[in-house]
């Protein structure tokens, strides 16, 4: 050790006390420069050796403290993140088939109804009176027809009288059936089971086929609809896994793509996707915003935080790992290859193996070949 230090000091003195260069030739100057550079490189090597020896012998040296953990193989997943809107197939505004005055409202807002249940009755007095009148005329027409039929069967009377009586009866039957159909249309019927969300008219108000009278919802099954850019057509298929997050109600649902649109919207170069969702508790409402994660990549490999990856002057990605040698923790620079990145994590395909000890805290404060102290408390 003493010899090394003495050699370094002697070399330093030799250079610092050298004679002044008096050569004027360019070639001689370049030669002299090369010799000096070689001497400097040689002295730097000697200096490095001296520093390493001092570092080993200095018991009072202060080492950089870092935290380190062994890396493990795990499953890496990458997602496409988009926004969607909740829709419901059974979300309708019911309009009456015929206009009329509201006579009775049989339900309340928020009430659950069954398919076929009468919700609102419109005033049908005029139609019922017409039905009663037609019934009277029909009874007479039937009696007349039956008599004409008996006479015709006995070859009594003319065929024309028989046919006229028959036509009269059938005409009245058709008119009566038409009136009964109109009478049924004066009732607003629930087409499916659900909840009455809103009732628009009040008793006595006039309605028309252009005016909705009730909003009926069934939210047991809803779906999220979203626009996806055409770039992802190759990776999004029916059955692709998704995670749907409803931030407003703090709810997350795992589902899959159930339908993919076959039309590219020329305005935004996107296609429609549909994700069906079970909603038995009815907590998910129509038009609710949803954050959607569509999985487009999955692979087992070594996953590390992306902020631990650094880039050197050659553009290579690298991380610092710990190699224990002679009881010391030495910093080693490992060049790595990043295969994919998502949510501040990267998938490493080359450069790390299971149980490599990776420096976490302090990774940006050390350099290759440093001796460090590990503290994971």
Q: Which residue has the higher pLDDT, 369 or 6?
A: 369
- E strand or H helix at 273: strand 270-278
For residue range 187-202, what is the model confidence (pLDDT) as tens digits?
999 999 999 999 999 9
For residue range 50-75, what is the model confidence (pLDDT) as tens digits?
766 766 665 556 778 899 999 999 99
Neighbouring residues of 360: CB distance < 8 A, sequence distance ≥ 6: 66, 67, 68, 69, 305, 308
Neighbouring residues of 246: CB distance < 8 A, sequence distance ≥ 6: 86, 252, 253, 284, 288, 289, 290, 291
For residue range 70-110, what is the model confidence (pLDDT) as tens digits?
999 999 999 999 999 999 999 999 999 999 999 999 999 99
Residue 16: is its pLDDT beyond 60? no
- E strand or H helix at 195: strand 194-199
Confidence (pLDDT) at 55: 63
Confidence (pLDDT) at 56: 63
Residue 307's Cβ-side half-sphere holds a number of Cα atoms within 13 Å equal to 7
For residue range 132-158, what is the model confidence (pLDDT) as tens digits?
999 999 999 999 888 888 888 887 778
Separation between Cα atoms, residue 49 and residue 65, nearest integer Å = 23
Query: How far is C-alpha 328 from the chain's CA centre?
Result: 48
Mean pLDDT of the chain: 88
DSSP 281-295: T--S-TT-EEEEEEE
Cα torsion angle, 235, 337, 358, 343, sign: negative
Residue 246: is its pLDDT beyond 60? yes
Flag the least confident range among 37-46, 113-122, 200-209, 284-293: 37-46
φ/ψ of 161, rounded to 5, equals -60, -40
Residue 136's Cβ-side half-sphere holds a number of Cα atoms within 13 Å equal to 5
Residue 279: is its pLDDT beyond 70? yes
Confidence (pLDDT) at 189: 94
Residue 285: is its pLDDT beyond 50? yes
Q: Which residue has the higher pLDDT, 270 or 60?
A: 270
Residue 21: is its pLDDT beyond 60? no
- Residue where the block lists tokens 């931030």: 247
For residue range 312-354, what is the model confidence (pLDDT) as tens digits?
989 999 999 999 888 889 999 999 999 999 999 999 999 999 9
Hey, which residues does 331 pair with through a beta bridge? 322
Quickly state the pLDDT bin for 121 (edges 50, 70, 90).
Answer: very high
- Compute and round to an integer the Cα radius of gyration of the chain: 45
- For the residues 177-186, what does the mean pLDDT come to? 91
Share of the chain above pLDDT 70, in %: 91
Quickly state the pLDDT bin for 304 (edges 50, 70, 90).
Answer: very high
Separation between Cα atoms, residue 190 and residue 370, nearest integer Å = 78
Confidence (pLDDT) at 8: 47
Hey, which residues does 275 pair with through a beta bridge? 224
- The two structure tokens encoding residue 52: 């390493």
Confidence (pLDDT) at 10: 55
- For the residues 174-178, what does the mean pLDDT come to? 92
Confidence (pLDDT) at 22: 53
Separation between Cα atoms, residue 309 and residue 344, nearest integer Å = 11
For residue range 350-368, what is the model confidence (pLDDT) as tens digits?
999 998 999 999 999 999 9
Plot region of 134 (φ>0 → left; ψ -120 to 50 → alpha; else → beta): alpha
């Amino acid at each position: 050790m003493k010899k090394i230090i003495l050699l370094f000091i002697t070399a330093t003195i030799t250079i610092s006390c050298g004679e002044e260069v008096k050569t004027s030739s360019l070639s001689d100057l370049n030669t002299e420069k090369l010799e000096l550079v070689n001497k400097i490189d040689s002295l730097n090597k000697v200096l490095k050796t001296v520093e390493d020896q001092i570092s080993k012998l200095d018991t009072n040296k202060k080492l950089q403290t870092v935290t380190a953990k062994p890396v493990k193989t795990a499953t890496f997943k990458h997602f496409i993140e988009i926004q969607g809107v909740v829709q419901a197939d059974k979300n309708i505004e019911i309009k009456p088939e015929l206009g009329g005055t509201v006579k009775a409202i049989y339900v309340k807002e928020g009430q659950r109804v069954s398919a076929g249940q009468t919700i609102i009755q419109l005033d049908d007095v005029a139609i019922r009176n017409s039905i009663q009148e037609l019934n009277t005329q029909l009874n007479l027409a039937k009696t007349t027809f039956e008599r004409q039929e008996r006479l015709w069967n006995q070859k009594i009377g003319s065929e024309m009288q028989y046919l006229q009586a028959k036509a009269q009866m059938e005409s009245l039957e058709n008119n009566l059936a038409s009136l009964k159909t109109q009478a049924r249309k004066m009732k607003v019927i629930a087409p499916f089971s659900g909840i009455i969300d809103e009732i628009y008219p009040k008793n006595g108000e006039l309605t028309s086929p252009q005016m909705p009278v009730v909003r009926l919802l069934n939210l047991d099954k809803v779906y999220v609809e979203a626009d996806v850019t055409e770039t992802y057509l190759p990776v999004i298929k029916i059955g692709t896994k998704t995670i749907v997050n409803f931030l407003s109600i703090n709810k997350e649902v795992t589902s899959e793509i159930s339908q993919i649109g076959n039309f590219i919207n020329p305005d935004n170069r996107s296609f429609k996707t549909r994700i069906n969702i079970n909603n038995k508790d009815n907590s998910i409402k129509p038009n609710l915003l949803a954050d959607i994660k569509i999985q487009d990549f999955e692979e087992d490999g070594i996953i590390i935080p992306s902020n631990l990856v650094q880039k050197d002057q050659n553009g290579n990605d690298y991380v610092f790992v710990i190699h224990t040698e002679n009881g010391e923790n030495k910093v080693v620079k490992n060049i790595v290859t990043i295969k994919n990145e998502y949510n501040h994590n990267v998938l490493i395909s080359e450069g790390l193996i299971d149980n490599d000890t990776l420096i976490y805290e302090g990774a940006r404060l050390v350099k290759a070949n440093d001796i460090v102290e590990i503290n994971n408390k």
